[in-house]
Amino acid sequence: MIGKVFWFAVGAGSAVYTAIKIQGLARQATPRAIGQRVTDSVATLGEEFSSFVERARAAMAEREAELRAEMDPLARDRRSGDGRALDHRAVDLPRARLGRSGLQD
């Protein structure tokens, strides 16, 4: 007798649990709920994309600053004191001579 009551209670409990889950799934399948989930997903995607763009721009600006810092000494060497570019012919550069056995100074 106790075994029958136990199994009746287990069956009734599982039926209630199943009914509650089915009602929840039915609520989630309504057009309004689906529309809300899609709207939330699109909004989240837009925020993530904006965040990505901001991080990418910051990284590009940082890299550009690094490149400009690397190139700046070269630019200063090619400019006169007042900022004008020097004539490349006026800069005295050592030139290597090419001999029969290779480069020679």
What is the mean predicted confidence (pLDDT) over 35-58? 94
- The whole-number pLDDT of residue 21 equals 95
**DSSP string of 8-64, one letter each residue:** HHHHHHHHHHHHHHHHHHHHHTSHHHHHHHHHHHHHHHHHHHHHHHHHHHHHHHHHH
Give the residue, 86 or 65, on which the prediction is more confident.
65
**Cα–Cα distance for residue pair 20/65, rounded to 1 Å:** 60
- The whole-number pLDDT of residue 99 equals 55
pLDDT category at 27 given cuts 50, 70, 90 is confident
Beta bridge partners of 45: none
